[in-house]
């Protein structure tokens, strides 16, 4: 093999990987957010979960990306471990579409496909068409790279050493190890299968040797999910264990079948003249058959993952949970003294919500002041937790009120129900404020020093008022009076800051975009004050007399 062939091989590999990245990026940009929403919602049924996982992976061209999304959903508590099992199974089926595309004999058309895609990117300015151009160009470049790699590796057929090396891959353990390590390094089973198909197209390896490398590639692709699970909660780590178990079990089963039966010869007979198609077909067969085989045992896979990574005492603290009350569906028995206990427990849970909302309000004002989106993900995650607590506490209160016979206790629980909703609304306004950082960062908006001082003042009074809400739960009337006074002060500040903003606008001191954002933020600030006052008034009116 000459130096020129080595350069050509590296260039072909670069084009192949870049084409795959372009195609994947274009597909995800065109449908990624929609795919995430579907993935989150349509996973209750095992069959639907498998279909959703397969379709999404086929669309975004990456089982790793789908699995990483699943790890994220499990980590945030939006998806259970059992739901994750079906998505992972489907993702393994969906990833085989890339191998089937590569097996298509359209190498001669590849330059034309790439040209059409680039033309769409360069000459059409619509964003949607731009994404389609990325997909088309990526597909064309992928095939150009495949042809370059195949042509560069042709001379290796004359090398006895390389041919002997390829023959050694027929050893199951060696083949699986090579496939696993190589895929783990490049972190894409689709790419590693494509490279294996390029070797096959050059006549350097047949299906009988490639089959074990192929099985190892399915295990190696799990490395991306393993890396993604670093720093996540224990349940998210179990998701990666399920992903690993699925591919290891499939590899063991298919290795035994290939050694004991003529399965390899059967798959070869389907497309006798095209080794790349044989590899694609075996890849599809492996994942579809393993999914069908393990589908009835998905729940057991989840349980096994829990045994491999057993629950720890601190695990509960890592997930969205109720600290003081049982979820409504678990606490169905009417017990003596339940109402008195429930009042205390619900108050404590709401206090957790208030603390989270207070943190989010503080972080959001600070983020706007710095003009950075750095804390946006953290604030969003905490807002999801607030929403979760609001839903669970509201369900619990509703259940208590159905069984409550004491009018005064019922009135107090009703007040807590309204308080819960008001805290959730404060959280919504906090996330609104933090979301403004996206526009501030994108449009390079800089606030005047006097505006930054006003933001600091808003942040301080919100923090003071929210801190006082802890005293409201004890029925401290003077505290309720102070909250009312603070809310009135917040209204005055809002009116004063609006007048100053109008003055700055008339003098041309601030940009139009900055004025709009600041005006919206003042509205959120005023609404936060309203909800704080609502909380104080509700608790004050519904407080049980001593």
Q: How many CB atoms lie within 10 A of CB 392?
A: 20
Q: What is the DSSP letter of 204?
A: S
CA 291 to CA 298: how far, in whole Å?
9
353 within a domain of the structure (yes/no): yes
Are 85 and 135 members of one domain? Answer: yes
Angstrom CA distances, 442 to 364, 372, 378, 437, stand at 17, 10, 19, 8
Spatial distance between the Cα atoms of 343 and 352, rounded to a whole number of angstroms: 14
Q: Are 275 and 200 in contact (CB under 8 A)?
A: yes
Per-residue pLDDT of the chain (546 residues; tens, 9 = 90+): 678 878 888 888 788 778 877 876 776 666 555 555 565 555 557 788 888 888 878 766 667 767 777 776 776 556 778 888 888 899 889 888 877 877 776 667 788 888 999 999 888 878 888 888 888 888 788 778 877 877 777 776 667 766 676 667 778 899 899 889 888 877 677 777 888 888 887 777 888 888 999 999 889 888 877 876 776 678 778 888 999 999 999 999 999 999 999 999 999 999 888 888 999 999 999 999 999 999 999 889 988 998 998 866 555 545 677 877 865 444 444 443 455 667 778 888 898 899 999 999 999 999 999 888 888 988 998 999 999 999 989 988 888 887 765 677 778 888 889 999 999 999 999 999 999 999 898 888 889 999 999 999 999 999 999 988 865 554 556 678 888 999 999 999 999 999 999 999 888 888 888 899 999 999 999 999 999 999 988 876 544 333
Q: Of 288, 308, 328, which marks where a domain is finished?
A: 308
Q: Are residues 293 and 373 in the same domain?
A: no
The CATH number given to whatever domain includes residue 484 is 1.20.58.220
Q: Which of 308, 325, 352 is the last residue of a domain?
A: 308
* Whole-structure pTM value: 0.55
CA dist 53 and 95 (Å) reads 10
Nearest to 455 by CA among 524, 376, 536, 374: 524
- CB 191, CB 24: distance < 8 Å: no
Looking at residue 358, its pLDDT comes to: 94
pLDDT attached to residue 500: 93
Together in a domain, 273 and 367: no
Task: Tell me the angle at which helices 207-220 and 234-260 cross, rounded to the nearest 10 degrees.
Answer: 170
Q: In angstroms, rounded to a whole number, what is the distance separating the alpha carbons of residues 282 and 263?
A: 9
Residue 321 neighbours by CB distance under 10 Å? 14
Question: Same domain, yes or no, for 56 and 205?
Answer: yes
Residue 320 lies in a domain: no
Task: Output the pLDDT for position 402.
Answer: 77
Same domain, 293 and 218: yes
Q: Are residues 291 and 405 in the same domain?
A: no
- Cβ atoms of 217 and 224 closer than 8 Å: no
The HSE-up count of residue 357 (CA atoms within 13 Å, CB side) is 33
The whole-angstrom separation of Cα 522 and Cα 495 is 9
300 and 345 co-located in one domain = no
Return the number of other C-beta atoms located less than 10 Å from residue 20's C-beta.
23
Q: Is 330 a domain residue?
A: no
Distances (CA, A) of 346 to 86, 318, 327, 384: 36, 21, 11, 19
Q: Based on C-alpha coordinates, what's the Rg of the chain?
A: 30
Closest CA to 349 of 296, 301, 385: 385
Phi and psi at residue 389, in whole multiples of 5°? -65, -40
- Residues 414 and 344: beta-carbon distance below 8 Å: no
Burial of 230 (0-12, 13-18, 19+ CB in 10 A): exposed
Q: How far is CA 207 from CA 172, 248, 314, in A?
A: 13, 20, 49
Cα–Cα distances in angstroms (integers) from residue 407 to residues 110, 343, 414, in the given order:
77, 14, 10
Query: Which residues form the domain of 425?
Result: 338-542
Looking at the domain assignment, is residue 328 inside a domain? no
- Output 287-291 pairs: Cβ under 8 A, ≥24 positions apart: 287/92, 287/93, 287/95, 287/96, 287/218, 287/250, 288/93, 288/96, 289/250, 289/254, 290/92, 290/246, 290/247, 290/249, 290/250, 290/253, 290/254, 291/50, 291/89, 291/90, 291/92, 291/93
What is the domain count for the chain? 2
Classify residue 314: in a domain, yes or no: no
User: Looking at residue 21, what is its pLDDT?
Assistant: 75
Answer yes or no: is 536 within a domain: yes
């Amino acid at each position: 093999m000459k130096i020129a062939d080595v350069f050509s091989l590296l260039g072909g590999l670069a084009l192949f990987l870049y084409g795959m990245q372009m195609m994947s990026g274009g597909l995800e940009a065109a449908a990624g957010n929609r795919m995430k929403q579907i993935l989150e919602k349509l996973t209750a049924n095992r069959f639907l979960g498998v279909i959703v996982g397969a379709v999404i992976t086929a669309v975004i061209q990456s089982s790793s990306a789908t699995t990483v999304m699943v790890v994220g959903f499990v980590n945030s508590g939006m998806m259970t471990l059992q739901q994750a099992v079906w998505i992972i199974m489907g993702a393994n089926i969906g990833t085989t579409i890339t191998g089937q595309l590569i097996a298509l004999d359209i190498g001669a058309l590849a330059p034309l496909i790439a040209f059409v895609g680039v033309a769409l990117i360069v000459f059409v300015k619509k964003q949607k068409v731009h994404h389609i151009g990325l997909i088309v160009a990526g597909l064309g470049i992928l095939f150009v790279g495949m042809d370059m790699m195949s042509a560069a590796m042709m001379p290796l057929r004359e090398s006895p050493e390389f041919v002997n090396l390829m023959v050694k891959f027929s050893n199951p353990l060696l083949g699986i190890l090579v496939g696993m390590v190589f895929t783990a390094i490049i972190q894409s089973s689709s790419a590693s299968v494509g490279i294996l198909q390029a070797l096959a197209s050059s006549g350097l390896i047949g299906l009988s040797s490639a089959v074990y490398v192929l099985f190892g590639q399915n295990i190696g692709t799990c490395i991306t999910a393993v890396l993604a699970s670093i720093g996540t909660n224990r349940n998210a780590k179990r998701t990666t264990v399920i992903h690993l178990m699925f591919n290891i079990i499939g590899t063991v089963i298919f290795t035994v079948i290939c050694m004991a039966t003529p399965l390899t010869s059967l798959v070869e007979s389907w497309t006798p003249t095209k080794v790349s198609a044989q590899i694609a077909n075996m890849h599809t067969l492996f994942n579809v058959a393993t999914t069908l085989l393990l589908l009835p045992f998905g729940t057991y896979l989840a349980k096994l993952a829990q045994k491999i990574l057993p629950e720890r005492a601190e695990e509960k603290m890592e997930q969205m949970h109720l600290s003081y009350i049982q979820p409504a569906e678990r606490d169905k028995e009417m017990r003596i003294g339940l109402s008195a206990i429930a009042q205390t427990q619900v108050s404590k849970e709401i206090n957790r919500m208030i603390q989270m909302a207070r943190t989010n309000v503080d972080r959001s004002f600070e983020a706007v002041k710095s003009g950075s989106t750095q804390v946006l993900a953290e604030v969003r995650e905490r807002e999801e937790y607030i929403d979760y607590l609001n839903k669970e506490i509201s369900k619990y209160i509703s259940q208590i009120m159905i069984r409550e016979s004491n009018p005064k206790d019922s009135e107090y629980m009703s007040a807590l129900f309204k308080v819960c909703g008001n805290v959730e609304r404060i959280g919504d306004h906090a996330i609104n404020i933090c979301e403004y950082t996206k526009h501030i960062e994108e449009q390079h908006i800089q606030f005047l020093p006097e505006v930054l001082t006003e933001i600091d003042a808003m942040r301080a009074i919100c923090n003071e008022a929210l801190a006082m809400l802890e005293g409201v739960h004890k029925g401290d009337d003077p505290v309720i009076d102070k909250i009312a006074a603070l809310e009135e002060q917040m209204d005055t500040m809002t009116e004063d800051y609006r007048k100053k903003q109008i003055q700055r606008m008339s003098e041309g001191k601030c940009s139009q975009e900055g004025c709009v954002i600041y005006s919206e933020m003042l509205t959120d600030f005023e609404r936060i004050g309203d909800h704080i006052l609502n909380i104080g008034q509700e608790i004050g009116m519904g407080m049980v007399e001593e």
